Amino acid sequence: MSKTLTIHDIARLAGVSAMTVSRALNQPNRVSPAMRSKVQEVVRQTGFIPNGMAGGLRSSRAKLVAAVLPTLVGPVFQETIQALNEALDAKGYQLMIGQSGYDIGREDALLDAIIRRRPDGIVLTGIMHSAAGRRQLLASGIPVVETWDLTPTPIDMLVGFSNEEIGAAACAYLHQRGYRRPALMCGDDERARRRNSGFKNMARSRGWTNDVPVVLTPAPTTLGAGRSGLAELLNRPDPIDSVFCSSDMLALGVLIEAQARGLSIPKQLAVMGLGDIGFAANLEPALTTVRIDGTRIGQTAAQYIVDRANGLPIEQPILDIGFSIIERDST
Please list the rounded mean pLDDT of every run of 10 residues in the chain (331 residues).
71 82 80 85 81 48 89 84 96 94 86 91 92 90 95 96 97 96 93 93 86 92 96 95 96 97 97 95 97 97 94 95 98 97
From CA 112, how far away is CA 122, in angstroms rounded?
12
Handedness of CA 41, 46, 52, 53 (dihedral sign): negative
Going by their DSSP bridges, the two strands 144-147 and 121-125 should be labelled as parallel
Ramachandran angles phi, psi of 206, nearest 5°: -90, 0
Residues 6+ apart with CB under 8 A from 90: none
List domains and CATH numbers for the chain: 7-46 (no CATH), 64-161+294-322 (3.40.50.2300), 163-291 (3.40.50.2300)
pLDDT at 21: 81
Q: Is the bond preceding residue 266 a cis peptide, omega within 30 degrees?
A: yes
314 contacts 158 by C-beta, under 8 angstroms: no
What secondary structure letter does DSSP report for 57? S
Nearest Cα neighbor of 201 from 189, 211, 190, 187 is 211
How many Cβ atoms sit within 10 Å of the Cβ of residue 101?
14
Q: What is the largest CA-CA distance in the chain?
A: 75
What secondary structure letter does DSSP report for 180? -
Residues 6+ apart with CB under 8 A from 60: none
pLDDT at 173: 98
From CA 30, how far away is CA 186, in angstroms rounded?
52
322 contacts 297 by C-beta, under 8 angstroms: no
pLDDT at 61: 63
Burial of 5 (0-12, 13-18, 19+ CB in 10 A): buried
